[in-house]
Chain A
Amino acid sequence: MNKNLLSFLFHILLGSPAVMAADTACFAEANARFKAGDFAVAATAYETLLANGGPRASVFYNLGNSYHRLGQYGPAILAYERARLLTPRDPDLLANLALARKAAAAFEETVVHPRLDALICYPSRNEWSWLVAGAALFVGGLALVCGLVNLPRRGMRQAALASAGLASLAIAAGSACLYLRRDESNRGIVLSENAAVHLSPFETAASLGTPGPGRIVHMRKESGGFHYVEVPGTTLRGWLPDKEVGAITPSKDGK
């Protein structure tokens, strides 16, 4: 993660054209492998590019396409879901994600209600957070300005009051949406078809069931190479090996 952050800062702040050119070349090469039908090699190239160049929506999207072509719907859905964190409204991405879900017979859970979901999931959690933080900073800055100077005109005072009200509404709405989507931070995707949920965190423990590839699970505590998972919409819950499940949002330590 630190490496990714440094790379990100390096690209954004310093704008190294050489590194950008190298990444672009790698991306083009991976795309060429994909076009040639060599999906496994393309997937490896995309993974390398992500490891070296940081998370990019287009790379995740193409990586998802590669896994989809290989018939590995679990990793494909995981890659699409990660791309969705960066570009939540990309129609190509949404179309391919729906195809992958259908192919894997993986159902997508709803947060509250389908209609309300469409509204609160339209922006990503990152965008909601920026809205809340931006509105909070705006209200704070406005309070500071109004504390320093007396706004001379009545119109200015009314405008300041109205904008502070709108910003407060944005904070309330954003906070509510972030609260409703709080479980998304621990979502994971089941990677393989035979991934079995165990009764306890041991390989030899009894199997409770197989959620199926691409299925969204809620990842809870971790113990000895296993994650305790809950399959939403079902009563299936238990321990899944770490190698069989991928977190959509990586933890702060990069896992």
Chain B
Amino acid sequence: MVIGIQSRILAAWLAILVGWAAWCPAAEVEARLDRDTVTAGNGALLTVRISGGRAGQPEIPAVENLIIDLRGQNPQVQTFNGRTTVSVTYQYAVGSNIPGDYQIPAINFTVDGQQLSTQPLKLKVLDAAAAKPPPGIPPNPAASQPAGDEPADSGDKRFGFLTVELAASARKHAYVGEIAPVRIQAWFPIDSRAQLRSGVQPEGKAFTLHHVSDAPQQTQEIRDGNRYLVVTWYGGISATKAGKYPASLSVQAVVAVRDTSAANPRMRTGSPFDDMFVPTIQKEVTLKSDDQQIEVRALPTQGRPAGFTGAVGEFKIDDWEIPNKWTTGEPQQIQALISGSGNFALMDAPELAPAEAWKTYPGKDDFTPGDVASFAGSKRFQFSAVPRKGGAQEAALAFSFFDPAAGDYKTLTSPTKNIQVAGETIADDPATDNPATGGPVKKDSSLVAEHHELSPAGPLIPLVSRPAFSAMLVFSGVLWVAGIILAWFRIRRENPQRRALAAMEKATREALHRAGQCAAAGDVPGFFAAARLAIQQRLGALWNQPPQAITLAEVNARIPHDSPVARFFDEADRHTYSSQSSGEILPQWKTLLDESLASLTTSVR
């Protein structure tokens, strides 16, 4: 009977288990790519779906050069015809920057204790330049129409590009020594995030970049119908040798752009929220401008004026000042202001004309930039000149430069000024000192002659870079601290209160010594007179008044009558004025004196 019941219960349990197993769906895993071919730099969408059981996040095996980036997970619970299905979907962006055939190995799962795995997947990554839409798959919007924001042939330009514009865009050549102003612009898609990792750098060997603005401008601009965030620098490019060289610039940046290729086109509804869920691809890129062959020409030797000193650009004489009255052999100062645009660094002061009538000396100059890149501006010159010929003369300033736009030299001359030079004509160069610099330096294109006197040897390393400098500073600090400490001691020593106290102590000691001598000699009046003086010294310091002015009446008025001081004072007065010249000095008087002094000592100190 019992066995029959147990058998029925067991059979019922088995029936329930079998029924539950039939009713529950089996666990499944699935992995699929939304495309099997992508271009380098773009991504495909990998979807991994786990249904019918619980499992952790899939661990996708690493594949060399293949980037697999989790974009999100989506748990779902579905009930259909009374059957409930639980599933989790993981989405990954998969791509590579290196073309090739890749295989994503099988992904293994443990779902409710059951070992499951997906099928291996293949992904072909094409070179971006050679990419063609695979048959049956619509063209990659990121490659052909990259998010609708890039030019069709941009390739990696979906991350941005760099443009360089010469100010004189019509001219395809430059001259040695010329600084050609350029505008450099980095263009990034408006919906991207960009972070610059370097400054603008020249790519070639033959050119250098100058005066690049430290704070680039940021604007939004539309180019070819697309909107970009544009970072703009201003600078100058120059070449130091003649020839034909490729010139381009580059800048490094990290750019994150929306990967529209990773979004499932079927999920795009045209809603403005579509792009919110589009994953981004971040890439470290080097934006490089297009190579431009720039011909660098040497400055022509033909037609070069004698006064040409290397200025290249476009200039004019704005202001000038030549004194009216001169004396031969005596220098005076001349001023000139030249403005324009060009290489001010290689510009020298204008020359006095006629050159043979003058001897000029190098002076000083002051450049005032007119723009952020220091191409335009003005330079003020001050230099000294000495007339060599006497009499009435005409003087003017002449300035020669090379105009790269015209490809020719130009000489500017200021209006002629009539001047009067006193004194005799000087046949040879006068050995006058240069008033501006203190030395006899001739302004000439040739070198100043060598020195003939051997100067004393000296250290090239400045004192500040030597240990002696620190030692001197430390020593001076020690001196300073020692001075402060000594001053503190001196001021303390010279304090009048301390000096008065010391004098009082000395007088008290002397009075007590005399009292002791009187006591030994049996001189009672002398003992009391000396002892009273000692007490007066203490009271004088205490009450801040002369000791001799303290009387018994004042003591009685300020000190209780039964105090040792008052009692001793009273006794001392009695013995002093009682005309008793002899007698015995009782021990209690000495004791009373000691008590009096002890009661005052504490107060005084």
Contacts and interface: CB of A to CB of B under 8 A. Distances in A.
Given A140-B483, A147-B490, A58 B451 contact: yes
Given A69-B447, A91-B439, A234-B210, A144 B479 contact: yes
A11 interface: yes
Contacts of B199: 235
Interface in B491-527: 494
A91 B441 contact: yes
Interface string A99-132: 1001001011000001100100000111011101
A147 B485 contact: yes
B461 A136 contact: no
A99 B490 contact: no
A72 B206 CA distance: 19
Nearest to A143: B483
Main secondary structure of the interface of A (DSSP, over half): helix
A191 interface: no
B465 interface: yes
B439 A209 contact: no
A89 B494 CA distance: 52
Contacts of B440: 91
A91 B438 contact: yes
A147 B465 contact: no
A86 B458 contact: yes
B484 A147 contact: yes
A91 B476 contact: no
A240 interface: no
B364 interface: yes
B83 to A, nearest CB: 65
A85 B310 CA distance: 27
A31 B460 contact: no
Contact of A95 (B200, B204, B362): B362
Contacts, number: 212
A139 B480 CA distance: 7
A219 interface: no
Contacts of B455: 56-59, 86-87
Interface in B419-456: 434, 437-441, 443, 445, 447-456
Contact of B208 (A12, A68, A86, A211): A211
Contacts of A125: 462, 464
Give the size category of B's interface with A. 35 or more
A133 B376 CA distance: 42
Contact of A65 (B201, B310, B441, B450): B450
A185 B464 CA distance: 10
Given A143-B484, A147-B482, A147-B486, A207 B447 contact: no
B375 interface: no
A210 interface: yes
Interface in A184-241: 185, 193, 196, 207-212, 231, 233-236
B604 interface: no
Given A53-B457, A137-B475, A150-B490, A105 B176 contact: yes
Contacts of B469: 129, 133
Given A61-B450, A212-B208, A235 B200 contact: yes
A183 interface: no
B240 interface: yes
B598 interface: no
Given A126-B462, A137-B479, A234-B208, A114 B367 contact: yes
B10 interface: no
B211 interface: yes
A101 B297 CA distance: 20
Contact of B457 (A55, A61, A145, A234): A55
B366 interface: yes
Contacts of A4: 457
Contacts of A57: 455, 458
B152 interface: no
B416 to A, nearest CB: 29
Main secondary structure of the interface of B (DSSP, over half): loop
Contact of A231 (B204, B208, B362, B439): B208
Contacts of B208: 209-212, 231, 234, 236
B447 A249 contact: no
Contact of A99 (B207, B447, B450, B475): B447
B52 to A, nearest CB: 56
B6 to A, nearest CB: 84
Contacts of A161: none
A249 to B, nearest CB: 6
B457 A147 contact: no
A118 B483 CA distance: 38
A7 interface: yes
B205 interface: yes
Contacts of B477: 136, 140
A72 to B, nearest CB: 14
B494 A150 contact: yes
B145 interface: no
B201 A144 contact: no
Contacts of A148: 483, 486, 490
B476 A140 contact: yes
A208 B201 contact: yes
Given A95-B362, A137-B476, A249-B462, A8 B205 contact: no
**Most chain B CB neighbours (cut-off 10 Å) among A62, A92, A125, A231:** A92
Nearest to A248: B460
Nearest to B238: A105
Given A96-B447, A178-B464, A7 B457 contact: yes
A140 B462 contact: no
Contacts of A130: 463
Nearest to B364: A118
Contacts of B472: 133, 136-137
Interface of B: 176-177, 198-202, 204-212, 240-241, 309-310, 345-346, 348, 362, 364, 366-367, 434, 437-441, 443, 445, 447-465, 469, 472-473, 475-480, 482-488, 490, 494
21 contacts: A23-B454, A31-B450, A59-B454, A85-B460, A85-B462, A89-B437, A91-B437, A94-B441, A95-B448, A126-B463, A140-B476, A143-B484, A147-B485, A147-B490, A148-B486, A208-B201, A210-B205, A210-B240, A234-B208, A234-B209, A235-B201
Given A234-B210, A235-B198, 7 more contacts: A11-B457, A56-B455, A91-B434, A92-B439, A126-B464, A130-B463, A139-B476
Q: Which 4 interchain pairs have the tightest Cβ spacing? A: A143-B483, A140-B479, A147-B486, A91-B439
